[in-house]
Chains A and B, each alone.
Chain A
Amino acid sequence: NAGVMQNPRHLVRRRGQEARLRCSPMKGHSHVYWYRQLPEEGLKFMVYLQKENIIDESGMPKERFSAEFPKEGPSILRIQQVVRGDSAAYFCASSPAGQSYGYTFGSGTRLTVV
């Protein structure tokens, strides 16, 4: 019973490149959430998706960041033209449909922008 799978675990990008982070939710979970954890800061909500729908993107930066959860395949968080301030740990979580439950988090992708 695999948990939430994120890849890659570590990603290094040069300033100006694109970063693509992938997340496969737990089996049976149809809701996906992305959070960002900056060094020495708490987890901050970015976006909440269901299959083919963005439900809440109130935490997403207005520019350069986008997310999708296609009908088939993993959820993708995409960061275009990365800057040093994007260096952080990005966590994906999933939950089943219905009322709120404790999310299950993945192990995260640590993005370093050089």
Chain B
Amino acid sequence: EDQVTQSPEALRLQEGESSSLNCSYTVSGLRGLFWYRQDPGKGPEFLFTLYSAGEEKEKERLKATLTKKESFLHITAPKPEDSATYLCAVQAEDTGRRALTFGSGTRLQVQP
């Protein structure tokens, strides 16, 4: 069974204080690892897809990296508007299955 564990559950940062969120996963053949951002009362917003170990992707203050067992979401010099829950999900290679297995998320709060 595919599993995703995110840590920490919650993280409070000061504005400008860089940090990383962790996503550990087990999957029977990885098709893709996804990062989403979710604001309260809204649906998840797609951030990145990573497909193979060693891959990195960046968007503004966010950078996602992938190894064979985990992914990191690095947040550089965060701003209050980066406050949200960040979700990690994996999709297995199993042909035809497109289900994503999500972690429980990391709630990030950035204080001014």
Residues of A within 8 A of B (CB): 4, 31, 33, 35, 41-45, 48, 55-56, 58-59, 91, 93, 95, 100-108
Contact = CB atoms under 8 A, between A and B. Distances in A.
B42 A107 contact: yes
Nearest to A41: B104
Contacts of A95: 98
B44 interface: yes
Contacts of B104: 41-42
User: Which one of A33, A58, A101, A102 has the highest number of Cβ atoms from chain B below 10 Å of its Cβ?
Assistant: A102
B34 interface: yes
Contacts of B31: 100
Contacts of B34: 102-103
User: Which one of A43, A59, A95, A101 has the highest number of Cβ atoms from chain B below 10 Å of its Cβ?
Assistant: A43
A100 B102 contact: no
B42 A108 contact: yes
B43 A108 contact: yes
Contacts of A101: 49
A49 to B, nearest CB: 10
Contacts of B97: 48, 56
Nearest to A95: B98
B58 to A, nearest CB: 16
A106 B45 CA distance: 9
Contacts of B98: 31, 33, 48, 55-56, 95, 100
B109 interface: no
Interface in B76-112: 87, 89, 91, 96-105
Contacts of A4: 43
Given A33-B100, A107-B42, 13 more contacts: A42-B87, A42-B105, A45-B99, A48-B97, A48-B99, A55-B96, A55-B98, A58-B99, A102-B34, A103-B34, A105-B44, A105-B45, A107-B41
Contacts of A91: 43-44
User: Which one of A42, A58, A59 has the highest number of Cβ atoms from chain B below 10 Å of its Cβ?
Assistant: A42
